[in-house]
Structure 1
């Protein structure tokens, strides 16, 4: 079975699931043992959501990237929006995909994290995917979306939980980009097109590092 592992000590990550010996098969994003553990602790509905996640990956594996984006975007947008304070009793908490699916709820960061790692598991390059902080003009608040660059200089597609349709960034005047990051580094919005990373990379993001440590702990358990 395939799972890709995140490396903690470096900015780059290989993936958070283990690699398959047989690349023709979809990766295992959640094991039967993990599903059983969730079933015992949280019940059948939570376990079924994890099974559905694995089924999504099985169905999407090997499909064209644009179709993979739609399938993953639609799947996770089915979860309810709930603030971190209400969901986790914390002001700011970044959930793993399993945590989000167990609760069937999350905030904007949780949607993006789940989509990002699922698309990475499906084989989409880290160079194409960015967790992007924006200002949501209508809401007058900070927001996070996932952006996908088909090519380095192309106009990115936006995967969002507010507007569930995948659109080009130029079709989303309601969003003003601030900065973006992925497993390879942290980028200011104006510098992303020039390929200039921010000094210190994503090590500056405490919540990102905490998330990676949780995933690393899971992969070694």
Structure 2
């Protein structure tokens, strides 16, 4: 791939037109019939929620993905830190905190939420004493963000999540370093994140990875 084409891929709009029949067929073939049912349920959420208010879109997407199972990457993929695509996450019926946040992020983009309002955010979860990932939604640039999380399944303002200490955040364009409970300090392009760059190059249904564990 030429460097110019690579840059184009990294900065292209992170939504794509997905063919429902092709997607359902690919997931069913790779992961089993139930994966196809989950894919159809995802398409229904996307199709039925287009005209909802943004807060209602957040609720629908958060509730849908929080029904999925949590499982660590090593057990599921045989990889200590694998960022699954939304279709892989739907296909295998679970993943870790990164996968929940990534799936919510891309689904909300499909629903027309502007990318500038969304940030995938790495935090320190003090209740677990470990790093964790959530999705943050900013209604306005200076708003206190709402947090979509798979640990606390209720969407809450960041100020109500005293158990989360932000470390860094990113979307399809930018990377921020968070030194306090604000929007953070701009630290350049999100393409600096190797895992994020790899994920964006794998989006779609033509690069579905086979899991180590059957989650059906």
TM-score category, normalised to shorter length: 0.7 to 0.9
Give 2:131's aligned residue: 142
In the comparison of the two structures, how many residue pairs are matched?
A: 202
Residues 94, 109 of structure 1: 8 Å contact kept: yes
Q: Which has the higher contact order (CA 8 A, sep 6+)?
A: 2
- Per the normalisation by structure 1, the TM-score is 0.85
- Per the normalisation by structure 2, the TM-score is 0.87
Q: Distance in 2 between matches of 1:107 and 1:66?
A: 24
Give 1:21's aligned residue: none
1:32-51 aligned within 5 A: 32-51=21-40
Determine helix, strand or coil for the equivalent of 1:165. Answer: coil
Give 1:133's aligned residue: 122
Post-superposition CA distance 1:156-195 (Å, at most 9, x none): 0000000000000000000001110001110011489577
Determine helix, strand or coil for the equivalent of 2:186. Answer: coil
Find the partner of 2:7 among 3, 6, 9.
9
**1:172 and 2:170 aligned:** no
1:53-72 aligned within 5 A: 53-72=42-61
Residues 135, 148 of structure 2: 8 Å contact kept: yes
Q: Distance in 1 between matches of 2:127 and 2:181?
A: 24
**1:205 and 2:190 aligned:** no
RMSD over equivalenced CA pairs, Å: 2.1
Determine helix, strand or coil for the equivalent of 2:91. Answer: helix
1:217: Cα distance to partner?
8.2
Q: Distance in 1 between matches of 2:142 and 2:83?
A: 29
Post-superposition CA distance 1:30-50 (Å, at most 9, x none): 520221122233221110000
Find the partner of 1:103 among 92, 97, 100.
92
In structure 2, the gaps of 5 or more residues are 208-216
Q: 1:194 to 1:37 in 2, by over 3 A?
A: closer
Q: 1:194 to 1:142 in 2, by over 3 A?
A: closer
Residues 24, 36 of structure 2: 8 Å contact kept: yes
**1:189 and 2:178 aligned:** yes
Post-superposition CA distance 1:76-95 (Å, at most 9, x none): 01100000001100000000
In structure 1, the gaps of 5 or more residues are 1-6, 19-28
Q: Distance in 1 between matches of 2:137 and 2:13?
A: 18
Residues 8, 212 of structure 1: 8 Å contact kept: no
Residues 178, 185 of structure 2: 8 Å contact kept: no
Q: 1:170 to 1:30 in 2, by over 3 A?
A: farther
